[in-house]
Structure 1
Amino acid sequence: MQAANEEQAEFWSNSPSGAKWLTFEDQMDELLAPVLDLVFDRAGLQPGMRVLDIGCGTGASTVRAAEIVGETGHVLAADFSQPFLDRAGQRAAEKGLANIDLQHADVQTHSFVAVDRDAMISRFGVMFFEDTVAAFANMTRALKPGGQMTFAAWGPLNGNPWFKTPHILACARLGNPPPMDRNAPGPLAFHDHERVSGLLEQAGLTDIRVEQVPVSLRIRGTIEDCATLCTRIGPAARLITHFEGDAEDVLAIQAAIAEAFQQYVSANTVEIPALINLFQARKSK
């Protein structure tokens, strides 16, 4: 495993920030449901297919794929985080799904069975590799000739106030973190769709397509509930951790986010606009 991938694995498996995804699983699944719908709408999975789910998280995508492909199909779900995989296994068991296997793996280097999968899917699970070309080439080896990848990544920062606004407000309170390369492994690493399309081509994929799709991220509850979630998961949460913000800092940032996001309140729901990069590519036949 490469050093940067070790860092990502540590973050998602053992850090308090990664653990919060388990704590707030229901809220995050609801928030990101439109993105998962987009992936499945484009992926075109069918009964009997063998699917590779990359960065499966706590299993929302895995369970849905397994239900679609049915008893004659199969889903192999891979993730950095063993706690996430454990939770995904629980969700599969609760649904009585026996057509799922879970793999704790660094997808950049893991030895998948070659020419074994009809399709690969991912919701926000492929932006974390030190060597993106190597990672996609490795995934491609698992696909059958003509097999299709379909994956979602966050689009440009300006189109995603869920990221941009809490980051700006947390910086205003706590200060600016060290500058980062926006293409470095992390949630926004695939914002530049032209760059990523080039990486997919270098990895040997063909028929590369990308759509920039606007969606609405929904949080049921009050604007305060939304602001609280923003200080638990996402860029504001990372800044609070980095600067060791105290309870007063957290409350101040929450209040600022609530004011900024007031424009997105509708009835008992907060609907935040987002811009998603939806990629598709095929293994050559």
Structure 2
Amino acid sequence: MQSANYEQAEFWGKSENGAKWLTYEDQLDHALAPVLDLVLDRAGLSGGQSVLDIGCGTGVSTLSAAGQVGAEGRILAVDISQPFLDRAAARSAEAGQSNISFQHADAQTFEFPPAQMDATISRFGVMFFSDSVAAFVNIAKALRLGGQMTFAAWGPLADNPWFRVPHVAAVSRLGQPPRVDRYAPGPLAFHDIDHVTGMMAKAGLSDIQAEAVPVGLASVDGADGTATLCTRVGPAARVIDHFEGDEQDVQAIQSTVAEEFRQFQTGADLYIPAVINLFQARRSE
């Protein structure tokens, strides 16, 4: 049976742009570390818990959660991309973690063992569902009564230069690609807190909490390195791909982005300001 999120499975599992998240794994883990710290801090995981990691990617969130629940706990890591899971499993083996299992699945429809998990976490793994309400309902079934889900998503584009600056630079250079529904599955689909909490309520979740949290995303080799990274992945990369931009276009876009990013330099430090929407809720029935 074809996945309800077939297009996402194709993008993250088979496309060149999706594969870039493997290529730039270390840089992305470094840049986005404050977001993972936020998720884990709010989730408050403890020893012996069973945790479901939705959209685990290449495994940095999974490994961190495994460390927090300890040998007596367990992590079930789920992703729609088999290449990501393969890499996450390799990292787990390298770290000697024995309390992690991996599942290639569409979390919107996969039949998780019911009421087995104490908590669900996700760092940027929940904005891609074709039916978010159905996904929330399905994920909640995996939780024990009172179990909590904690997930992070990007806030509005205007508040996130990491996305906005490269996107504007790419559009200025190559043109505006066809516009899509601002709530369509994608990195910024959960930018509107009220929209998301409304879907969570519709899914029957309780104790819903949401907050726009300012964070600073770590630079990767200064303005130039960070510009390279966020031009190669994310909205700018999609614009470049749509217009079949060449290397000259890429270099011009990166140069513009690097110049914009230098405004965030403070002494030897460079952090890109970001706003992350942090959501929490519980299964009540």
Q: Aligning the two structures, in what range does the TM-score lie when normalised by the shorter sequence?
A: over 0.9
Letter paired with 1:136: F
Are 2:3 and 2:106, in contact at CA under 8 Å, matched by a contact in 1?
no
Where in structure 2 are the equivalents of 1:1-285 lying within 5 Å? 5-284=5-284
Letter paired with 2:203: A
The CA deviation at 1:268 is 4.7
Identical residues among aligned pairs (%): 62
Cα deviation, 1:185-216, whole Å, max 9, x if unaligned, reads 00000000101001001111000000110000
Are 2:155 and 2:212, in contact at CA under 8 Å, matched by a contact in 1?
yes
Change over 3 Å in CA distance of 1:39–1:276 after alignment to 2? same
Change over 3 Å in CA distance of 1:233–1:269 after alignment to 2? farther
Q: Using the alignment, how far apart are the partners of 2:277 and 2:80 within structure 1?
A: 22
Change over 3 Å in CA distance of 1:31–1:204 after alignment to 2? same
Are 1:31 and 1:218, in contact at CA under 8 Å, matched by a contact in 2?
yes
Q: Using the alignment, how far apart are the partners of 2:73 and 2:222 within structure 1?
A: 41
Q: Which is further off, 256-265 or 56-65? A: 256-265
The CA deviation at 1:270 is 2.8
TM score, norm. by length of structure 1:
0.97
The CA deviation at 1:236 is 1.0
Superposition misfits of 4+ residues, deviation over 3 angstroms: 1-4, 266-269
Letter paired with 2:128: F
Q: Using the alignment, how far apart are the partners of 2:14 and 2:54 within structure 1?
A: 19
Q: Using the alignment, how far apart are the partners of 1:90 and 1:3 within structure 2?
A: 25
Q: Using the alignment, how far apart are the partners of 1:46 and 1:284 within structure 2?
A: 21
Consecutive unaligned residues in structure 2, runs of 5 or more: none
Q: Using the alignment, how far apart are the partners of 1:71 and 1:230 within structure 2?
A: 36
Cα deviation, 1:61-106, whole Å, max 9, x if unaligned, reads 1001111111111000000100110111111111111100000000
SS of the residue 1:153 aligns to: strand
The CA deviation at 1:109 is 0.5
The CA deviation at 1:112 is 0.2
Cα deviation, 1:228-260, whole Å, max 9, x if unaligned, reads 112211111111111000111111111111111
Cα deviation, 1:85-133, whole Å, max 9, x if unaligned, reads 0111111111111100000000111000000000000000000000100
Q: Using the alignment, how far apart are the partners of 1:126 and 1:41 within structure 2?
A: 18
Change over 3 Å in CA distance of 1:52–1:212 after alignment to 2? same
Consecutive unaligned residues in structure 1, runs of 5 or more: none
SS of the residue 1:56 aligns to: coil
Letter paired with 1:204: G
Q: Using the alignment, how far apart are the partners of 1:221 and 1:63 within structure 2?
A: 25
SS of the residue 1:177 aligns to: coil
Letter paired with 2:7: E
The CA deviation at 1:265 is 2.2
Letter paired with 2:111: S
Are 1:221 and 1:270, in contact at CA under 8 Å, matched by a contact in 2?
no
